[in-house]
Chains A and B, each alone.
Chain A
Amino acid sequence: MAKIEVVNVTKRFGKFTALKNINLEIKDNEFFVLFGPAGAGKTTLLNNVAGIQIPEEGLIRFNGEIMNRIDPAHRNVAMVFENYALYPNLTVYENIASPLRSPLYKKDNATINREVHRVAELLRIDHLLERLPSQISNGQKQRVAIGRALVRDPNVFLMDEPLAHLDAKLRHYMRSELKEMQSSFNTTCIYVTHDFLEAVSLGDRIAIINEGSIIQVGTREEVYYTPCNEFVAALVGEPEINLVDGRLFVDNGKYYVETLEKGYLLPLPESSGIVRKLVDSEVTEYHIGFRPNNIKYTFEKKDGLIRGTVYSFESIGNKAVLIAKVGEKYIRMIAPNDLKVKLDQAVYVELPIHKAIFFDAQTTNFIGTSDEAAIYRLVQEQLSKGVQ
């Protein structure tokens, strides 16, 4: 158990700067996710915490103690590898016990027995202790690998895309399993992934990384409802958020945004404070983000809705994605998977202006959201943190 601090860390490989002045504070017992596209620097950051790589600049601190010159073995970090790397010739019991038998820890048999059983019960594998890895399921193997890491009470538990090599079905299942086990970890965790669902499901907080820099750090709700820029908005959410051009329009003291077509005006909700935010920002050209699950549509002509044509209809399991072509713009929305629809037929789209996220069209930075429920939720979250 430890608080992990990354202070002004820069890591270079020759001329390439993999990490650019990274600052992070990971709380004791927190499940912290590093999330970003391939090549963002997630794994490099993890390796610097583990001590496998040493930063050129900056500090890594565990509970305030500087770790830069401590070798990996003595940092007491535990890693779970993608392929679990269990010893195939050892029983589940011996696999979990193996770190305690290493020269570094060398515990007596009674202690080992107690610790192995403690961890095995936590992870619900105590009935499998006499089995060999070949005799247990994939989910159970993951549990054994995690048990082996937890048995020695590590300062921090590092996981680098532990589910990435699995096929889609198993990956989802194992993610749920991991989430179930999470509360029994009882240590600080840093988890690297490029999968949005893993990031939001597992992370107490999520750091979004791109090209060696931290873009945003926040809870699931913060990065989803108030993404700090368009990059984060597009990365968090599936199908991807719709971003449409819009500009501020004032008529008779009423505020609107004009979007998609000339003269198509959406009245800004007065109560959400978004009008104030937009006016204060002094920006008048926006990219407006609409999440696909908030957009409504109908196939009958209706006033106030914008006309488009069905560009595509794709089932994605329990639901479907309907893409409408409105002018030159493609609008993604969620539809039931048994909808009867013909390509190129007319569809009328309702953009939910009360659930919109506004970005500065020039800088792509976040200006504000009109989603009152989201704002309320975020305030609640802040308050509950304050109480703790």
Chain B
Amino acid sequence: MSKLIIKNLYKRYENKGKKKTQPNDFAVNNLSLECEDGEFIGILGPSGCGKTTTLRMIAGLEDITAGDIFIGDQRINDLHPKDRNIGLAFEDYALYPPLTVYDNIAFNLKAKGVPADQIKERVMEIAPLLKVEDLLDKMPISLSGGQKQRVNIARAIVRRPGLLLLDEPLSHLDGKMRQALRTEIKRLHNEIRCTTVYVTHDQLEAMSLADRIAIMNLGVLQQFGTPMEVYDDPANEFVAGFIGEPPMNLLKTTIIHHDGDYYFTFENSDLRILAPRRYYDLLSDGMQVKMGVRPTDIFVGGPDSKGTPVKVAVFEDLCSERRIGVRVGDELVMLITEDDTRYRQGEMIKLEVNGEKTHLFDLQTGNRIRPNK
């Protein structure tokens, strides 16, 4: 088990023969991260954000353009991948087809020349953790996708690596199996407490598994924090829109000043939201910003509500929860209702927004506008 430190990491791929289309062609751009010993870190972002490239540089499968990576106290930039003491599992299971599950898990230990009785001990120790103890005599071809991935992860951790790297291990699996294995990975980490870096594009996986999440976009780290930090306190518009399902509603708003108070107003909409007092120092009449509010912070008011009357554009009954969509200008704004009431499309409701829970973002940069403390 070791600490992982990434310092000012850059990766630039040579653009052979192709014309350069992007002014900034760093796949990973000045990434710095520190993962504590035993911590579970998720690297989250859309495709092309540099998350897998980062993982591959840690593993030694990719050259480092600039910057340093330390595992424990050791700088590993120039270390051969096999000497980095890393366990790896990718989306593709890549099991050895002619070998049994047992031999697949034992393979790396055998290659290292570990005595047979020790190998057996270690395989038998790991197999129950991943619930593959009944599969040890089977061939990979007879396993389901979920079972194959369990074997693959068992193979990665049987060597007792200092660092476990997982790259989208659940992406190939269907919904139910994915949920089940997600739970198992979490249990496994709780059991072995191996420092783990987990790469995914699925915010649910990152939120549910990781102690802390590094959110990346276009090669740049956007925010690094616990799941609740990135959910409640997003650093910028990108993070706000990426975390949460349904995502945060993000709307362009014009601030108006009226009777000593500030309000958020929206183009082609009657909706008006009282701005939280803590923002007053920063606001001015006519100012334009992006306002974000989570679907759980918008409510349908009762008959006496002072909320804005709006038409239900969409009502979705998803059995265990219900969602209402309303049009604010051109944007579809979603809210989640807890109660059992069913609404009809076109029905008028009174919309109440918890202004205190709104976030503001700079229209140009997307950066969070934070009130002065």
Task: Answer whether A and B are interacting partners.
Answer: yes
Q: How far is the CB of A152 from chain B (nearest CB, A)?
A: 25
- B-chain residues with CB within 8 Å of residue A176 when the two chains form the complex: 314, 316, 323, 325, 332, 334
Residues in B neighbouring A292, C-beta threshold 8 A: 320
Distance (whole angstroms) from the CB of A191 to the closest CB of chain B = 14
Binary flags per residue of A337-362, CB closer than 8 Å to B gives 1, else 0: 11000011000000000000000000
Q: Is A291 an interface residue (CB 8 A)?
A: yes
On whether the beta carbons of B228 and A338 are closer than 8 Å, the reply is yes
- Contacts A169-B247, A179-B314, A183-B345; A316 near B334 (Cβ below 8 A): no
Interface mask (B314-344 → A, CB under 8 Å = 1, otherwise 0) = 1111111101010000001010100010000
What is the bound-complex CA distance between A270 and B332, given in angstroms?
46
> Among A167, A312, A344, which residue has its beta carbon within 8 angstroms of that of B201?
A167
Quick check: is B99 within 8 A (CB to CB) of the other chain? no
Give CA–CA (A293, B339) in the complex, Å.
13
Most buried by A among B183, B247, B318, B323: B318
Q: What is the chain A residue whose CB lies nearest that of B207?
A: A315
Q: Which of B174, B186, B316, B334 contacts A201 (CB 8 A)?
A: B316
- On whether the beta carbons of A317 and B244 are closer than 8 Å, the reply is yes
Residues of A within 8 A of B182 (CB): 314
- Shortest CB distance A93–B (Å): 20
Which candidate, A42-50, A233-241, A274-282, is the interface stretch facing chain B? A233-241
Tell whether B362 is near chain A: CB-to-CB under 8 Å.
no
Interchain CB contact under 8 A, B204 and A317 = yes
Asked if B246 is at the interface (CB within 8 A of a chain A CB), the reply is yes
A172: nearest chain-B partner, CB-CB: B246
How distant is the Cα of A307 from the Cα of B322 in the complex, in angstroms?
Answer: 31
- Report whether B319 and A38 are in contact in the complex, using a CB–CB cutoff of 8 Å: no
Say whether A201 contacts B317, CB under 8 Å: yes
Contact B186 A312 (CB under 8 A): yes
Q: Which residues of B contact A318 (CB under 8 A)?
A: 244-245, 294-296, 336
Task: Give the residues in chain B near A343, CB-CB below 8 Å.
Answer: 186-187, 190
With both beta carbons as reference points, the residue of chain B lying nearest to A175 in the complex is identified as B316
- Tell me whether B208 is interfacial, beta carbon within 8 Å: yes
Known: A176-B316, A236-B319. A314 touches B183 (CB 8 A): yes
- Number of interface residues, chain B, beta carbon within 8 A: 44
Q: Which of A172, A175, A197, A311 contacts B183 (CB 8 A)?
A: A311
Once the chains are docked, how many angstroms separate the CA of A173 from the CA of B250? 13
Report the Cα distance A37→B176, complex, angstroms. 11
Considering only residues 154-177 of chain B, those with a C-beta below 8 Å from chain A are 174-176
Cα A156 to Cα B246 in complex, Å, equals: 31
B276 within 8 A of A: no
Q: Contacts A180-B325, A180-B345, A317-B204; is A220 near B245 (CB within 8 Å)?
A: no
| B317 A239 Cβ-Cβ under 8 A | no
Residues of A within 8 A of B323 (CB): 176
The answer to the question of A110 belonging to the interface, with a C-beta cut-off of 8 Å to chain B, is no
CB-contacts of A164-206 with B (<8 A): 167-169, 172-173, 175-177, 179-180, 183, 197, 200-201
Nearest Cβ on chain B to A137's Cβ, whole angstroms: 10
Using A169-B245, A316-B208 as known contacts, say yes or no to A200 and B317 having CB atoms under 8 A apart.
yes
Complex: A179 Cα to B315 Cα, angstroms:
8
With a cutoff of 8 Å between Cβ atoms, the chain B residues found around residue A337 in the complex are 228, 231
List, in ascending order, chain A residues with CB within 8 A of B176's CB.
240
CA of A144 to CA of B325 in the docked complex: distance in angstroms? 21
Interface presence of A146 (CB below 8 A): no
Q: Are B174 and A173 in contact (CB under 8 A)?
A: no
User: B313 — which chain A residues lie within 8 A by C-beta?
Assistant: 180
Judged by DSSP, the binding face of A is mixed
Partner of A315, one of B46, B227, B319, B320: B227
Chain A residue, CB-CB nearest to B189: A343
Residues of B within 8 A of A316 (CB): 204, 207-208, 245
Closest residue of A by beta carbon distance from B243: A317
Q: Does B202 contact A (CB under 8 A)?
A: yes
Q: Are B320 and A293 in contact (CB under 8 A)?
A: yes
Complex Cα distance A321/B204, Å? 11
In the complex, are the beta carbons of A237 and B334 less than 8 A apart? no
Give A323's nearest chain B residue, CB to CB: B183
CB of B209, distance to nearest CB on chain A (Å): 8
* CB closest residue in chain B, given A373: B340
What is the bound-complex CA distance between A237 and B340, given in angstroms?
Answer: 16
> From B325, which residue of chain A is reached at the shortest CB distance?
A176
| Separation of A311 and B246 alpha carbons in the complex (Å) | 26
Minimum CB distance partner of A343 in chain B: B190
Is B179 in the interface zone, CB < 8 Å from A?
A: yes
Closest chain B CB from A333 CB (angstroms): 11
Please, which residues of chain B bring their CB within 8 A of the CB of A81?
A: none
What are the interface flags for B170-214 relative to A under an 8 Å C-beta threshold, 1 for contact and 0 otherwise?
A: 000011100100110011001000000000011110011100000
**In the docked arrangement, what's the CA distance between A240 and B176, Å?**
8
Annotate B75-105 by CB proximity to A: 1 below 8 A, 0 otherwise.
0000000000000000000000000000000
Min CB gap A380→B, angstroms: 11
Question: Please, how many angstroms separate the alpha-carbon atoms of A337 and B232 in the complex?
Answer: 11
Q: Does A224 contact B (CB under 8 A)?
A: yes
CA distance A312 to B179 in the complex (A): 11
Q: Name the contact of A317 in the complex, choosing from B179, B207, B320 (C-beta under 8 A).
A: B207
Contact B245 A314 (CB under 8 A): no
In the assembly, what is the distance between CA of A337 and CA of B231, in Å?
10
CA distance A266 to B191 in the complex (A): 35
Complex Cα distance, B231 from A338, in Å, reads 10
Question: When the two chains form their complex, are residues A173 and B207 in contact, meaning their CB atoms are under 8 A apart?
Answer: no
Beyond A179-B315, A179-B325: 19 further Cβ-contacts under 8 Å? Answer: A167-B46, A168-B204, A172-B246, A176-B332, A176-B334, A179-B314, A200-B318, A220-B317, A239-B179, A240-B176, A291-B320, A311-B187, A312-B187, A314-B182, A317-B246, A318-B296, A318-B336, A323-B183, A337-B231
* B residues whose Cβ falls under 8 Å from a Cβ of A: 46, 174-176, 179, 182-183, 186-187, 190, 201-204, 207-209, 227-228, 231, 242, 244-247, 294-296, 313-321, 323, 325, 332, 334, 336, 340, 345
23 pairs, A vs B, C-beta closer than 8 Å? A167-B46, A168-B202, A168-B204, A172-B246, A176-B334, A179-B315, A180-B313, A180-B332, A183-B345, A201-B318, A237-B320, A239-B179, A314-B186, A315-B207, A316-B207, A316-B208, A317-B203, A318-B245, A318-B295, A318-B336, A320-B208, A334-B320, A338-B228
CB-based closest 9 A-B pairs: A314-B208, A317-B245, A180-B314, A201-B316, A293-B320, A315-B207, A312-B183, A224-B319, A179-B314
